[in-house]
Amino acid sequence: MAGSAFTNEDVIAAVTDRFTPVLIDADVDKKTPGQYGASGWPTVVFTNRKGEALKKSVGAVPVEQFLATAQAAGKDAGKPKPSKDYKALVTAQEELDAALEKKAPAKAIAAIEKIEKVGRKGRILDAALAAKEKLVAEGKAAVETAVTESDADPAKALKDLKALLREYKGLSDVEDAAKAAIPDVEKKLPTDDK
């Protein structure tokens, strides 16, 4: 089952949207499986917030069958009440979206850090990590542009590199690239600009 159902994107979405997956090793914890009437392995029990069983899937079942069980359990669970972490994630996601729209890397990085701090796997974290990769690529490209333009105007290039250090603070790849470029650009400055 772990090789098929739990790698299926629809199953992952159905399970993580309404539930918090918890793995119980029946060889170690014999009490919990008994509480939920586990009679075969694997047994997946979908519960509400009070721990009351809503639906159960026993044994290796086809992905479609497991998905239907997960979706039915989600409906039975009712509308979810967002956790404090989820509220923080949604707020940080909104901040990230606004920062990306305004092309404000420092604010986007701050929002990404909030999302990473919560550490909850799912679409919000995935989107934040994708945005982070894009910011790193954009930041490194901006460093390369500053270096390329430093022959014509080293003072402006130096100013741009220092601005990139501020704007991309927290993205070590960009910071390292800018820090590495600064000494070379400084060598191109006329002696009275140093």
Same domain, yes or no, for 122 and 146?
yes
pLDDT value of position 1: 47
DSSP-assigned states of every residue in 71-95: HHHHHHH-SPPPPHHHHHHHHHHHH
How crowded is residue 41: how many other Cβ atoms within 10 Å of its Cβ? 11
Same domain, yes or no, for 36 and 97?
no
Question: Nearest to residue 136, comparing CAs of 189, 102, 178, 96?
Answer: 178
Same domain, yes or no, for 70 and 113?
no
140-165 mean pLDDT: 96
Domain C-terminal end among 44, 77, 110? 77
Whole-model pTM: value is 0.58
Domain C-terminal end among 77, 93, 117? 77
pLDDT class of 5 with cuts at 50, 70, 90: low
Domain C-terminal end among 77, 98, 120? 77
11-35 mean pLDDT: 82
**Domain extent at residue 47:** 5-77
Instruction: Note the pLDDT tens digit of each residue in 85-133.
Output: 888 899 999 999 999 999 999 999 999 999 999 888 888 999 999 999 9
164-180 mean pLDDT: 95
